Structure 1
């Protein structure tokens, strides 16, 4: 996932729920389904549950004997729509525990409520797989207590190793059931199609770069393929989106409020204590300036997944930015809302009025993660507040932190300038301290670099400059991650099968208007329908190319399923 520190996959991959390490030995040749895939299921039938399956994967693909040390990698399979010879669709779970929910978004409901992923399976006679990334969920190395955050235990958690996992799996996977008898599911005879959003979307594109003979085509949604150390651009689409949606007054006020907070912190410890106390009603235990700034940045977390809307799930304390902006922009004395200039620029109390309105928002402390919304006793005098580190304890959170601390970066520092909405004290040093605090060295040599090695990653896979063929891209108009995506404009022209996009030319893809992150993984979104149809139509052409290029080695019945028009 999605967060007080960088996270990509919360929307597409769910919350990270694992609380203990559970590993066991699994036979990689034994693949089980609860449903008999040989039985065709009527469209009006209830959904069939999907069971988790494991396969042993080499821990180090570069070792002389890779199978000498393996780990159990979890995945889920759905074969209800599979037709002999059809393609394999792999949905990547990314930086979180995988779940069959991503195959069937509405269990126990009728098939008319297909998830977007299952619609692809139905339309193309495909086999559906949800893949769990190494070091997440239950796909964990044996014999390691990862919650201790020993750097040595994470040394095999690299982008290169994780991509190699998918290559190994595709070449070794055997289906279970009569429908798979005499069917070769390897990429030699079966096209594999990789689908992912956010970090998994990046992996979709990277697989086409690193393993073009394994992954035949990819759907790279909201894919931030350019690794960057510092990412102030994350907050620019939030500013732009709020203004387009009619909340220019809110952006103006929040900009001036953050500027005022930074100015008061700059004046010294006593002044910093005063502004923290004004907003929180407390600062006990002591809170450093960077920790305070980091918590304030949490006000914007909900934008990535929902824009200005509240979370529809009952009980989740995320009321939405519209609720916050309405509170900040309302004057209870005059019962009026501010105009586009905001109150800070025109009110008799200036920015102090805006700060009071922010602090009075009932959800302020909860949304920003302060004391779970509860006050605590304040100290009598300004405390000394050094940097505070609270290490993550959830394995999924720790694993993602290792990835961005070592390779991907994505450190969402303040966007200093005219559109600044995050305190300048959320800086690179803050994130550096978080990385060092989390991971303990082994043998005296630190595995955590001073800054993430983003240059190596971009050189290896291309970053913004990658142009893999048979890859479809999407990005939201107001996606906070759009600065690391190479997709800039709509281009609905389906490329020829093996055509790579020329440098500087538009990529094949769709920019989702008025959308944020991973909006095309929602069937109710009209922009998602456009994207799905584009990709499905492209697949119809590309799969015919697979038939032509593999005509002497196709599975029985594959031609009819992959290219009905031939």
Structure 2
């Protein structure tokens, strides 16, 4: 569908083609499941899945076994997957946006919450489906997970006449410049032995690379001989800086977000391997034998450090060498050679409106009259706002029409409703161990764990022992889903069917 790049302000006449995937299978076979209005018109459910910050081809499975298929089948509805502007193929033609070939801030300035929500609204206003009566009444059920989950909640809030109901899964309805709580969830949701080993290892590492917690990424009092030995111990001797080294140590932690209940999933296997290696006696002994010189320089180190070193050297060192171990490769990021990557598009959104810098926790203080609480620490003190904002400050140079703000303007997102969103026919679904839960309405830090009542009009579900939008997946044979997943899918079918009758 053709969309204007600027819906509101007339700053450009450029358009782009917004991609969508469509399935009419359940509509064709589901006439008996659909209701009629009082004047006899057919009510046609449209299950609209927001693709969020990735190419739509990565969401295609939703038309087979995921939540879209589940709800379309239950309602006799039409299934639609909608791609977000600037992702996948839903991108304007670069040559129409001015001279040059790189995607700078002037070319990306229309990638924002306001414009992208209006894309979805414009799609709903204009959507037509072959074989559906012109007199039919479309009732859109908007689904999204994570960032797209927030968009689902925002669409129901801002466009209630267009969006009949919405399911906001792992919906980050609040934005924050920094988000140390992301790692709290990882530490608290992990096996206790794994979590404790991580915290022990990072504490020992920081005694060498971040001895002054308050200095964050700007440490000056470093024993360089020991620091270099530590990098070699981890197989990361080529890391150009200790900040890069500290950042690389966070990479395995991202696997926790991808944990799932789906059988035989590789992400689960990788996370289990990571946790097991931290305390594996054979792996630890192997590090001792291979790195006797480095350990001689470092002195006694906790076994958790050796376990972490074993994992990083085996699994991340080659990654490091292939990319020169530069986790903040600003120059390559800035000069993209005409290719707009998913990471650059999302980084632009992060720098402008969302933040979510995943940093070390605040420094605990129990000695003063006003104690400062902290949280589980599984990343180095070097991972602070100054370091995490480097890509914003240097990766996006000032343009003629747009400049990255000094800090992300999270008020743009938070003004929409934040933790107070409470629309009728808006379902909030979260996972108990989701690292993004702190920014959802089930947040223990900012929403008292969730104070909204769970009703069929305003469903409010926290799935036990679950992670990031874990309700979105499904199996061809629902009887093989775990009980907690069958329960949430049954609940979603029930409340969507109820909504469609209203």
TM bucket, shorter chain: 0.7 to 0.9
Matched, 1:398 2:344: yes
- Counterpart for residue 413 of structure 2: 457
- Counterpart for residue 61 of structure 2: 102
Report the Cα distance in structure 1 between the residues aligned to 2:270 and 2:327, rounded to whole angstroms: 32
Give unpaired runs (5+ residues) of structure 2: 32-41, 212-220, 286-298, 363-373, 443-448, 475-480
Matched, 1:234 2:182: yes
Secondary structure at 1:410 match in 2: strand
Report the Cα distance in structure 1 between the residues aligned to 2:79 and 2:117, rounded to whole angstroms: 19
1:551-562 equivalences under 5 Å are none
1:431-442 equivalences under 5 Å are 431-442=388-399
Report the Cα distance in structure 2 between the residues aligned to 1:373 and 1:60, rounded to whole angstroms: 40
Q: Is the 8 A contact 1:233 1:480 kept in 2?
A: yes
- Aligned counterpart for 2:162 among listed residues 199, 214, 218: 214
Q: Deviations over 1:291-338 (max 9, x none)?
A: 11111111211100116999735xx8x852322222222334999xxx
- Aligned counterpart for 2:116 among listed residues 162, 177, 181: 162
Q: Output the TM-score relative to the length of structure 2.
A: 0.79
Matched, 1:172 2:126: yes
Deviation at 1:390, TM superposition (A): 5.6
Deviation at 1:494, TM superposition (A): 2.7
Secondary structure at 2:193 match in 1: helix
Deviation at 1:396, TM superposition (A): 1.4
Report the Cα distance in structure 1 between the residues aligned to 2:84 and 2:342, rounded to whole angstroms: 10
Matched, 1:411 2:372: no
Matched, 1:279 2:234: yes
Deviation at 1:222, TM superposition (A): 0.7
Secondary structure at 1:87 match in 2: strand
Deviation at 1:103, TM superposition (A): 3.5
- Counterpart for residue 73 of structure 1: 18
Matched, 1:250 2:176: no
- Aligned counterpart for 2:265 among listed residues 292, 312, 328: 312
- Counterpart for residue 485 of structure 1: 440
- Counterpart for residue 554 of structure 1: none
Deviation at 1:388, TM superposition (A): 5.3
The structure in which a higher percent of residues are helix is 2
Deviation at 1:159, TM superposition (A): 0.5
Report the Cα distance in structure 1 between the residues aligned to 2:233 and 2:314, rounded to whole angstroms: 16
- Counterpart for residue 455 of structure 2: 494
Report the Cα distance in structure 2 between the residues aligned to 1:387 and 1:530, rounded to whole angstroms: 43
Aligned residues: 433
1:35-50 equivalences under 5 Å are none
Secondary structure at 1:190 match in 2: strand
Secondary structure at 2:18 match in 1: strand
Deviation at 1:65, TM superposition (A): 9.4
* Structure-2 change in CA distance of 1:149 and 1:435 (3 Å): farther
- Counterpart for residue 250 of structure 2: 297
Report the Cα distance in structure 2 between the residues aligned to 1:165 and 1:388, rounded to whole angstroms: 32
Deviation at 1:401, TM superposition (A): 0.6
* Structure-2 change in CA distance of 1:153 and 1:127 (3 Å): same
* Structure-2 change in CA distance of 1:272 and 1:470 (3 Å): same
Deviation at 1:116, TM superposition (A): 2.8
Secondary structure at 2:487 match in 1: helix
* Structure-2 change in CA distance of 1:142 and 1:396 (3 Å): same
* Structure-2 change in CA distance of 1:171 and 1:212 (3 Å): same
* Structure-2 change in CA distance of 1:456 and 1:519 (3 Å): same
Q: Is the 8 A contact 1:216 1:470 kept in 2?
A: yes
Pick 1 or 2: higher relative contact order, CA cutoff 8 A, min separation 6: 2
Secondary structure at 1:196 match in 2: strand
1:83-102 equivalences under 5 Å are 83=31, 85-99=43-57, 101-102=60-61
Secondary structure at 2:330 match in 1: coil
- Aligned counterpart for 2:304 among listed residues 345, 348, 354: 354
* Structure-2 change in CA distance of 1:386 and 1:491 (3 Å): closer
Matched, 1:372 2:319: yes
* Structure-2 change in CA distance of 1:156 and 1:491 (3 Å): closer
Q: Is the 8 A contact 1:78 1:103 kept in 2?
A: no
Q: Is the 8 A contact 1:311 1:320 kept in 2?
A: no
- Aligned counterpart for 1:191 among listed residues 135, 139, 150: 139
Give unpaired runs (5+ residues) of structure 1: 1-54, 106-113, 336-348, 379-384, 497-506, 546-566
- Counterpart for residue 15 of structure 1: none
Q: Deviations over 1:177-227 (max 9, x none)?
A: xx224245xxxx321110111111110000011111111100100111100
Report the Cα distance in structure 1 between the residues aligned to 2:86 and 2:24, rounded to whole angstroms: 26
Q: Aligned-pair RMSD on alpha carbons?
A: 3.1
Report the Cα distance in structure 1 between the residues aligned to 2:496 and 2:327, rounded to whole angstroms: 55
Identify the range of structure 1 (303-312 vs 196-205) with the bigger mean alpha-carbon deviation.
Answer: 303-312
Q: Is the 8 A contact 1:520 1:529 kept in 2?
A: no
* Structure-2 change in CA distance of 1:519 and 1:350 (3 Å): farther
